[in-house]
Every structure is written in structure tokens, then in C-alpha cells.
């Protein structure tokens, strides 16, 4: 169970009174416990944390004109579920839990129709399951140059295919679109942690994907740069459009910022991490509400 300290420090010059919505705090889920939180903001600023679906938490700040300082810290304890990849199968669409179905359809940054032919030509003959998804992510990684400087760039999956480069969200969008084209539910997870592209862009966040296999969501990093076993979940959505790090109303200029993760571990944690490297990792609880109706028919007309 990795234990980590999180510190966030942001600095702004606010020109006109306005508000900021920050999606950079650790999520609170059954698998991720957040404790010892401390939030300090400038005199005159009003701050509150709002809890959303899938454990996401948004920090809302209303600030008057002038310098704005926001300092946040917390301790995070994550509990992973590890499984043998060979046991994880893809689930037929008719058997998927209801809450999983939205992540089967295309979304603004992850269109499936342009990639359906490519997905089935490349991966359609492989045995469905964890290994097929892992191979898909490896193919995205092998053909795409990881360029953190492109973080935040408005690129389609076709752009990423053509120029063969992108930041973590572009890797994630391409992998998600290919999975969905194969009728495999996939979603984007914004994360942070040691080695997860910390210091990128505005918030130091990194994008991974989760794929629904068996009865849980399992993590994959298409870039191959993040340690899956030591990641802190920030947000979960269909694509990056659902997870803007910062939404701003008013005029403000960022003058500084840092998101820092410190891992607290002992020998047992390191041993567990080494074992997890050979297994599939899930940090999302199983979805138990299966699809289908309360009334099932076998196709015969009833009297």
C-alpha cells in the first residue's frame, strides 16, 4: 500500500475578481484514502473543495484582484488490487455493467469510426483480454515519440497518428480510441506520482488509461514512463475534455506553480512493488451493476 505526501503550490496575479476551478487534488475513493489535508490561500480569497463523481474533487477559489497564493498538502494511502494478467478477459457488450457503457462510445477527443478498420486489421485477430490491450499500448508507444512539451496542445487522434508524436494525453486518446473501436471500454485517468512526468505544463499531471476487464478497471500507461504501482488518481473521464486542470472565470496570470509527490515506503512496500510489476493493477472498485433487464425472455411468445 504506497503512502505518499502531496504538496501543491500555485501563484497567480489576478487582474479582475474571478474564480478558479482546480482539478489537481487527489481523488477520494475506496482505494485511495486522503488524510491530513491542509489548504491555505491568500487573505480575501475564499476556497472550498467540492466532491464529484468517481471520487474527483475540485478546488473552487474566488479571489479579489491582486496576488493569489494557494498552498495545499495531504497524505495519500493507495490500495491496489493485483491480478494475473492471463486471467483477465474482455467482457461482451451485453454483459457490461451499466456504468461502464458510456466509456464504450466515442467522445470528442476519442473518435472511433476513423480507427475501426485500423484497430481490427492490427489487433482483431489477437485473443481478447489483457494481453491484447497491453500489445495495443505497446504499439502506440513504439510508433509515437513522447514529447511532454506538447501537453495541452489541441490534437486529434488522427493528428497523433500522422505526426507520430504527442504528450501523455495524446498517447492516451489514441489508445482509448483504438480500444473502443474494438468494443473494449476505456477511459482516461489523470494521475501524478514519482516519475509520472511531474513538472509538465501547468500542474505536473500525467494521463494514463483504464480498461474494463473481468469485473474491474485496470491501469495502463501508453507512454511507458509512469510507475503504475505508485500513482495517485486525480480525475477520471471519457477524455481530457472532462478533466481540465484549471478552469478560469476572470483574468489572471499564473506566476508560479508546483505539484510535488514524495513517496514514503519501507522494505515491504518495495517488495510489493516488485511483485506488482508482473501483475495487472487496478485502483478502481469493481462495478457490480450488470447490464440487462429485470425481465429476460428466451424469444418465445408468452401466453
- For 221-235, write each residue's pLDDT tens digit: 999 988 888 889 999
Q: What is the pLDDT of residues 265-297, one digit of tens each?
A: 554 554 455 455 679 999 987 765 555 544 444
Length of the chain: 303
Looking at every residue in the chain, the average pLDDT score rounds to 85
Residue 282: strand, helix, or coil: strand
Beta strands at 165-166 and 145-146: parallel, antiparallel or unpaired: parallel
* pLDDT for the residue numbered 184: 98
Question: Who has greater pLDDT, 277 or 180?
Answer: 180
What's the gap between Cα 95 and its chain centre? Answer: 24
In whole angstroms, what is the distance from residue 158 CA to residue 164 CA? Answer: 10
The DSSP symbol for 301 reads P
| pLDDT beyond 80 at 149 | yes
Q: What is residue 265's predicted lDDT score, i.e. its pLDDT?
A: 55
How far is Cα 258 from Cα 71, in angstroms, rounded to an integer? 10
Q: What is the DSSP letter of 271?
A: H
* Domains, the chain: 101-243 (3.10.620.30)
Evaluate the CA torsion angle 84, 86, 87, 88 in order and state its sign. positive
Task: Supply the pLDDT for residue 299.
Answer: 45
pLDDT in tens, 34-92: 999 999 999 889 999 999 888 899 999 998 888 889 999 999 998 889 999 999 999 99
Q: Of 84-98, 119-133, 287-301, which range is least confident?
A: 287-301
pLDDT at 258 over 80: no
Q: What is the pLDDT of residues 62-78, one digit of tens each?
A: 988 888 899 999 999 98
pLDDT above 80 for 95: yes
Phi/psi for 18 (5° steps) reads -160, -170
Q: How far apart are CA 98 and CA 203, in angstroms?
A: 33
- What is the Cα Rg of the chain in Å? 20
Mean pLDDT lowest among 32-36, 98-102, 159-163, 295-299 = 295-299
Amino acid at each position: 500500500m504506497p503512502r505518499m505526501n502531496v504538496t501543491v503550490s500555485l501563484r497567480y496575479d489576478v487582474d479582475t475578481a474571478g474564480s478558479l476551478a482546480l482539478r489537481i487534488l487527489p481523488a477520494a475513493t475506496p482505494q485511495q484514502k486522503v488524510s491530513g489535508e491542509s489548504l491555505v490561500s491568500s487573505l480575501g480569497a475564499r476556497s472550498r473543495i467540492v466532491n464529484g463523481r468517481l471520487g474527483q474533487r475540485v478546488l473552487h477559489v474566488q479571489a479579489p484582484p491582486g496576488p493569489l497564493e494557494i498552498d495545499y498538502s495531504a497524505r495519500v494511502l493507495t490500495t491496489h488490487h493485483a491480478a494475473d494478467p492471463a486471467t483477465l478477459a474482455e467482457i461482451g457488450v451485453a454483459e457490461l455493467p451499466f456504468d461502464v457503457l458510456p466509456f464504450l462510445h466515442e467522445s470528442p477527443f476519442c473518435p472511433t469510426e476513423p480507427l475501426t478498420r485500423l484497430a481490427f486489421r492490427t489487433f482483431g485477430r489477437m485473443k481478447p483480454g489483457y494481453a491484447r490491450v497491453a500489445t495495443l499500448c505497446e504499439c502506440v508507444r513504439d510508433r509515437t515519440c513522447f514529447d511532454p512539451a506538447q501537453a495541452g496542445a489541441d490534437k486529434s487522434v488522427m493528428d497523433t497518428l500522422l505526426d507520430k508524436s504527442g504528450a501523455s494525453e495524446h498517447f492516451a486518446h489514441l489508445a482509448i480510441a483504438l480500444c473502443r473501436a474494438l468494443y473494449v471500454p476505456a477511459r482516461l485517468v489523470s494521475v501524478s506520482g514519482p516519475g509520472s512526468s511531474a513538472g509538465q505544463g501547468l500542474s505536473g499531471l500525467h494521463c494514463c488509461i483504464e480498461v474494463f476487464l473481468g469485473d474491474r478497471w485496470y491501469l495502463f500507461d501508453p507512454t511507458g514512463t509512469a510507475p503504475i504501482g505508485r500513482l495517485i488518481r486525480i480525475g477520471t473521464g471519457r477524455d481530457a475534455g472532462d478533466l481540465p486542470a484549471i478552469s478560469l472565470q476572470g483574468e489572471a496570470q499564473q506566476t508560479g506553480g508546483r505539484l510535488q509527490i514524495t513517496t514514503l515506503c519501507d522494505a515491504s512496500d518495495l517488495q510489493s512493488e516488485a511483485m506488482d510489476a508482473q501483475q495487472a493493477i487496478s485502483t478502481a472498485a469493481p462495478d457490480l451493476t450488470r447490464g440487462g433487464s429485470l425481465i429476460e425472455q428466451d424469444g418465445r411468445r408468452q401466453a
